[in-house]
Amino acid sequence: MPTEATRSGEFPALNAEARRIWDANAAWWDDRIGDGNDFQTVLIEPAMGRLLGDVAGQTVLDVGCGAGRFARQLAERGATVTAGDFSTAFLARARERTPAALPVTYQPLDATDPAALRALGTGGFDAVTAVMMLMDLATLAPLFQAIPALLKPGGRFVFCVSHPCFHTVNTHRFVEDILVDGRCTARAGVTVTGYLTPTAVRGEGIVGQPETQYYFDRPLSLLFDAGFRAGLTVTGLEEPAFPTVENRWRLHWPTEIPPVLAVRMGVK
């Protein structure tokens, strides 16, 4: 797995290649998880929904929308949604999957491009969402810097990522059999071999995908600092975990270790 590292956690030179890879993988990914999996239905979507709150009658920008699964959920909850992605292949799938009656507008959007973000206007959104895409983003600063201008007064930015502490290319899961009260039971855990140094590493999100993708792993300090520098503050945070070690995703996640981090931020 090729690895690059920077102190800043910004990897702009890899953005074009990241886009090409997602275009290559989009249809394959959507075929396999477009209808949902345990990560989406048990962890991600419930946490995002709780942090967002009621969106009925509101305008929402969904950044990095992929095939539009969360954008459609927002519209079904009563929001008017603008959804963008830099992968034209994902956008094609999103349009195919979205009923005409749903108030979702899809458009190309490179969230690393300040001009593209400015073109969305000023003060037009009650909320901005980013579902499991910041760790796929070569540079964070342009999106975070754009958020305050995109939001209406009192608006919120809600995102979720693979947990920077427990679910990166530098973490490794294990399951072992132990005796508890004379009974054999499974105990799962995570080993961490790296954290502080931001890295760009290629790996599989789903086993067997056409091409490995870039993961841009950054520590919490850099992730939150991108928001703090833009004048945002954390107003909510969740670390959802699977309720049992055994789950249909077959990853044997420990019940005490969250694979996902969900965050709500607002303008100071």
Tens-digit pLDDT profile for residues 89-137: 999 999 999 999 999 999 999 999 999 999 999 999 999 999 999 999 9
pLDDT tens for each residue of 37-51: 989 999 999 999 999
Q: What is the mean pLDDT of the chain?
A: 93
pTM recorded for the entire structure: 0.93
Enumerate domains of the chain plus CATH numbers. 3-267 (3.40.50.150)
CA atoms within 13 A on the CB side of 70: 30
Q: How confident is the model at residue 246 (pLDDT cuts 50, 70, 90)?
A: low
The DSSP secondary-structure symbol of 44 reads I
For residue 245, what pLDDT is reported? Answer: 65
Sign of CA dihedral 152, 94, 212, 12: negative
- Which residues are bridge partners to 200 per DSSP? 4, 216
Is the pLDDT assigned to residue 235 strictly greater than 80? yes
Strands 104-108 and 125-131: unpaired
Run of H or E residues at 162: strand 151-162
Q: How confident is the model at residue 179 (pLDDT cuts 50, 70, 90)?
A: confident
Question: Which two three-digit tokens encode residue 214?
Answer: 């870039």
